Amino acid sequence: KKEGRVPVVVAGETKFFEARLWNDYFKEIFAESSHAGDGLVYNYENYFEGHSNSDATAIIAVFSETRAWKGISGIDDNEGREILKIINKAHNSIVISFGSPYILRHFKDVDILIAAYDSNEYVQKAVIKCLYGELDFKGRMPVKIEFPT
CB 129 within 8 A of CB 116: no
When pLDDT is cut at 50, 70 and 90, the band that residue 123 belongs to is very high
Q: In this predicted structure, what is the pLDDT of residue 38?
A: 46
pLDDT tens for each residue of 30-76: 776 555 444 444 556 666 666 655 567 889 999 987 665 555 556 77
Output Rg (C-alpha) for the chain, integer angstroms.
Answer: 14
Per-residue pLDDT tens digits for 64-119? 876 655 555 567 777 888 888 888 888 889 999 999 898 898 898 899 999 999 99
Write the DSSP symbol of residue 41. B
Q: What pLDDT is recorded for position 13?
A: 84
**Are 130 and 136 within 8 A, CB to CB?**
yes
| The 8-12 sheet, strands edge to edge | 29-31, 8-12, 57-63, 92-98, 112-115
Per-residue pLDDT at 39:
44
Domain boundary assignment for the chain = 8-131
pLDDT beyond 60 at 129: yes
Q: Say how many C-beta atoms besides its own lie within 10 A of residue 96's C-beta.
A: 23
Who wins on pLDDT, 5 or 145? 145
pLDDT, mean of residues 19-24: 88
Q: 8-131: which CATH topology?
A: Rossmann fold (3.40.50)
